[in-house]
Amino acid sequence: MQTKYKIGIIVAIIVIVGAYMVLAAGSNNNKITIAGSTSVQPVAQKLADAYTKEHPNVKITVQGGGSSVGITDAEQGIVSIGASSENLTANDSAKLNQTVIGYDGIAIIVNKNSTISGLTSAQIDGIFTGNITNWSQVGGSNAKIDVITREQGSGTRSNFQKLMLNGSQVESGAIVQTSTQGVKSAVSGDPNAIGFISLTGLDSSVKAITVNGVGISVANITNGTYTLQGPLMFLTKGTPNSVVQDFMNWVLGPEGQAIVKSTNSVPVKSS
């Protein structure tokens, strides 16, 4: 009798543990992790917030870290979705599935009290490569230009260097910030600063200047007159599970693309 009682207890424990493991596995499968580009981050966060309201059983966490983090973490399976604002190398492209969820502009920003309202491509190139060092050289006051840049590995920096500097590096004396917010804060606090950020992060704390007479806007990115632009991408490794795939499908659907548009990004699909 005592033996049967012990066996009954063991069986009950096994059933409870098994049920717990099934529940835990199910809970795990309902989690989506996104990390990478700080340009994609605010877009991804808005998408995640809206999606989880409609799907309360799904939990989505969104983190930054830069495009290089998004690419590496996706390749290593650390996250469900990597975020990148940089076009992938052939090597990375072979390892990951790329889904463009929208297009983003790169804003050239100065302090909101600056007298500079526009620069040419040649002037911007000169400033960021260290050939132009004083605002008086481009029509401003007699003050040293403080160049603010993103860190190596930032997709926004990579795109900026390709599109504006013809592949050259930002001058070595530039002040490095590790996020869109960091660049914005540095420029907003320094009357002599200039930097570049994603349009998704632009607000009234800084001033976006025109480039070759063209202002940054969704309309000008869409029609191609503002040429400083790049993709906002979600990266996945292999075949995503059904939860991740459903989220990705929703992002590319009418509701998701409307949210992408609301972040000052250009959606890939018109509603």
Return the pLDDT at 8: 52
- On the question of pLDDT at 16 being above 60, the answer is no
Q: Does domain 104-229 have CATH number 3.30.360.10?
A: no
Kindly report, residue by residue over 25-69, the tens digit of the pLDDT: 444 579 999 999 988 999 999 999 999 999 999 999 999 999 999
With 50 as the cut, is the pLDDT of residue 22 above it?
no
Q: Which pLDDT belongs to residue 18?
A: 46
pLDDT category of residue 19 using cuts at 50, 70 and 90: very low
Query: Tokens 């390892």 — which residue?
Result: 95
What is the 3-state secondary structure of the chain?
A: CHHHHHHHHHHHHHHHHHHHHHHHHHHHHCEEEEEECCCCHHHHHHHHHHHHHHCCCCEEEEEEECHHHHHHHHHCCCCCEEEECCCCCHHHHHHCEEEEEEEEEEEEEEECCCCCCEECHHHHHHHHCCCCCEHHHHCCCCCECEEEEECCCCHHHHHHHHHHCCCCCCCCCCEEECCHHHHHHHHHCCCCEEEEEEHHHCCCCEEECEECCECCCHHHHHCCCCCCEEEEEEEECCCCCHHHHHHHHHHCCHHHHHHHHHCCCEECCCC
Q: Regarding the domain delimited by 2-103+232-267, which CATH topology (the fold level of the hierarchy) does it fall under?
A: D-Maltodextrin-Binding Protein; domain 2 (3.40.190)
Give tens-digit pLDDT for 142-165: 999 999 999 998 999 999 999 999
Per-residue pLDDT reduced to its tens digit, 82-138:
999 988 999 999 999 999 999 999 999 999 999 999 999 999 999 999 999 999 999
pLDDT for residue 26: 44
Q: pTM of the predicted model, to two decimals?
A: 0.78
What integer pLDDT is reported at residue 33 of this predicted model?
Answer: 98
143 or 230, which is more confident = 143
Of 9-23, 86-100, 241-255, where does mean pLDDT reach its minimum? 9-23
- pLDDT value at position 271? 55
Confidence of residue 2 (pLDDT cuts 50, 70, 90): low
Note whether 50 and 17 are within 8 A (CB). Answer: no
Task: Quote the pLDDT of residue 11.
Answer: 46
d(CA 164, CA 51): 36
What is the reported pLDDT for 153?
87
Name residue, tokens 């995503």: 240
Burial class (CB in 10 A: 0-12, 13-18, 19+), 203: exposed
Give the torsion sign (CA, 46, 51, 56, 58): negative
pLDDT band at 23 (very low <50, low <70, confident <90, very high): very low
pLDDT in tens, 183-217: 999 999 999 999 999 998 999 999 999 999 999 99
Q: Residue 6: its pLDDT value, please?
A: 53
What ranges do the domains of the chain cover? 2-103+232-267, 104-229
Q: Do domains 2-103+232-267 and 104-229 have the same CATH topology?
A: yes
